[in-house]
Chains A and B, each alone.
Chain A
């Protein structure tokens, strides 16, 4: 099943400062990650940090990973392995990411610094978490992620807003563009 994670842009003329995206598949397991780092820095500093994050996801990352928990572990290890000095002035303490992982049993999501997460279907958006859910928390790169949320239904797209996003809800119309995805 194809799976894509998206992070909504922030308001303003440069909504995608420090945004990064990566995805890979190996047999039945796959991951997709969308996030931002150094998002309040100068565009060039944030750009370099974001590309450094993308470079951490090596091609062999998924080799031998049996299930989505193992995939998530590998992805998070790769993120923890990034030298903090390349992650901008806050050295990764402002790291925000939506990690979506999939295996033959279904989809799981996790990530630091999220303010809301939705399943994104052609018909609209469905909130996946509510209120004080552990998936919604502060940014950064903790040694261990708070956990993985397994989804009952198979969703091919998930979208999140960062913890500091000014509006708690997102509009469905034009969503792809507002996630930095262009045709």
Chain B
């Protein structure tokens, strides 16, 4: 039951804030109180969630994410999620997940990811959108922002060719080489070499050479070889490398 059902949001904001504060301190669920406020005065709810005197409690922020639709009508999505992360950093991943679910192709997710995920920036966004039409665009944006570990994780977890191609196109050659290996480890038939050639240029030898130090298994090395038969010189070189490899 709502803890503020008899209070008027236009008149009793101080009291409402106090009651919700008490409710949260007592460990009670704020969901019904929040639902009550959404129904009666969504502006007042937005004030309590993201306003200057927002309630800085993780359970309050998590409950607010259920009403993201309503909150986005009061505040631009980019500002809303940034503010939620600022108010309750421990809810950062939850806020990020909701933002990704609602706006999978938004450019402001890139700086938000850096803030929430730190050195793994891009992981949540790219893994969550790997089957969405915005995936390639998202890979390019994170690669351009220098979110190399996040893009590499996406290559490894999805087996899609776009992360490696995005790294190459943005000049991160060593990371692109590593991504080629990670991609083929996850999906040996992934058209990763073809996509790198399409993004970088028809003879992406710098990227292919950068993949070699990251090869750890002959099966992945042979997968790379299969993709490189159109580059006979590199394929021959790779055969020499494979001959000298010891599977770890």
Contact = CB atoms under 8 A, between A and B. Distances in A.
Chain B binds chain A: yes
B210 to A, nearest CB: 12
Contact of B200 (A16, A21, A44, A48): A16
Interface in B146-174: 161, 165-166, 169
B198 interface: yes
Nearest to B136: A13
B202 A14 contact: no
A47 B229 CA distance: 11
A182 B165 CA distance: 14
A26 B201 CA distance: 26
Interface residues of A, number: 25
B230 A181 contact: no
Nearest to A54: B230
Interface in B103-157: 136-137, 140
B201 A180 contact: yes
A55 interface: yes
Interface centre among B197, B202, B232, by most chain A C-beta atoms within 10 angstroms, is: B202
Interface stretch (B44-52, B66-74, B188-196): B188-196
Nearest to B202: A19
A20 B191 CA distance: 17
A51 B198 contact: no
Contact of B203 (A18, A21, A44, A55): A21
A44 B194 contact: yes
Interface in A1-36: 9, 13-21
B199 A21 contact: no
A43 B230 contact: no
Given A43-B191, A44-B191, A182-B206, A16 B230 contact: no
How big is the B interface, by class? 20 to 34
A51 B200 contact: no
B237 interface: no
Given A14-B165, A44-B194, A51 B230 contact: yes
Nearest to A14: B198
A44 B203 CA distance: 14
Contacts of B230: 47-48, 50-52, 54-55
Contacts of B191: 42-44, 47
A72 interface: no
A16 B199 CA distance: 6
Nearest to A45: B194
A181 B195 contact: no
Given A43-B191, A46-B194, A14 B199 contact: yes
B207 to A, nearest CB: 9
A18 B191 CA distance: 13
Contact of B201 (A19, A47, A55): A19
Interface centre among B191, B206, B230, by most chain A C-beta atoms within 10 angstroms, is: B230
A47 B199 contact: no
Contact of B197 (A13, A19, A179): A19
Given A13-B136, A16-B198, 20 more contacts: A9-B201, A13-B140, A13-B166, A16-B200, A18-B198, A19-B197, A19-B202, A20-B202, A21-B202, A43-B195, A44-B194, A47-B191, A47-B230, A48-B230, A52-B230, A180-B200, A180-B201, A180-B202, A182-B200, A182-B204
Closest 6 CB pairs of A and B: A180-B201, A51-B230, A47-B194, A44-B191, A14-B198, A19-B202
Interface of A: 9, 13-21, 42-44, 46-48, 50-52, 54-55, 179-182
Interface of B: 136-137, 140, 161, 165-166, 169, 191, 193-195, 197-204, 206, 229-232
28 contacts: A13-B137, A13-B140, A13-B165, A13-B166, A13-B169, A14-B195, A14-B198, A16-B197, A16-B198, A18-B198, A19-B197, A19-B202, A43-B191, A43-B198, A44-B194, A46-B194, A46-B198, A47-B191, A47-B194, A48-B194, A50-B202, A52-B230, A54-B230, A179-B201, A181-B201, A182-B200, A182-B201, A182-B206
